């Protein structure tokens, strides 16, 4: 994470927690879209969308090259997502599971 010389590590951690709380306070995909478009550059949003787009394919066990062919996402990025899907903080898995539950309720 980028270090700010003029604030303490505690202040930096608090700012990060406030960001997570702001995201959690949003109540719809449209609100999240508006918030992220205000917060992030188009390239940052695209990078996050690219990472998210490969999760389902990785969970289904598709080879990296096939995922690359289907999505255009680099094999390096696919590998990074796979590492965090397997050994990260569990965020990809929670979000994917909840998206699947939401789809099952509406599908």
Q: Which pLDDT score, from 0 to 100, does residue 106 have? A: 73
Rg (CA), the chain: 16
Helix H or strand E encompassing 46: helix 42-59
* More confident site: 83 or 100: 83
Helix H or strand E encompassing 106: helix 91-106
Query: How far from chain centre, in Å, is Cα 32?
Result: 12
Whole-model pTM: value is: 0.85
Confidence of residue 4 (pLDDT cuts 50, 70, 90): low
78 CB-contact burial (10 Å; exposed 0-12 / middle 13-18 / buried 19+) = buried
34 pLDDT higher than 80: yes
**Structural tokens at position 12:** 């930096």
């Amino acid at each position: 994470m980028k270090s700010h010389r003029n604030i303490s590590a505690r202040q930096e951690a608090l700012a990060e927690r406030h960001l997570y709380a702001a995201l959690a306070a949003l109540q719809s995909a449209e609100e999240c879209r508006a918030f992220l478009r205000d917060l992030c550059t188009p390239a940052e949003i695209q990078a996050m969308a690219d990472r998210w787009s490969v999760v389902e394919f990785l969970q289904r066990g598709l080879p990296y090259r096939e995922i690359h062919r289907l999505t255009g996402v680099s094999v390096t990025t696919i590998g990074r997502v796979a590492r965090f899907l397997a050994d990260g903080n569990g965020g990809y898995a929670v979000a994917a599971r909840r998206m699947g539950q939401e789809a099952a309720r509406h599908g």
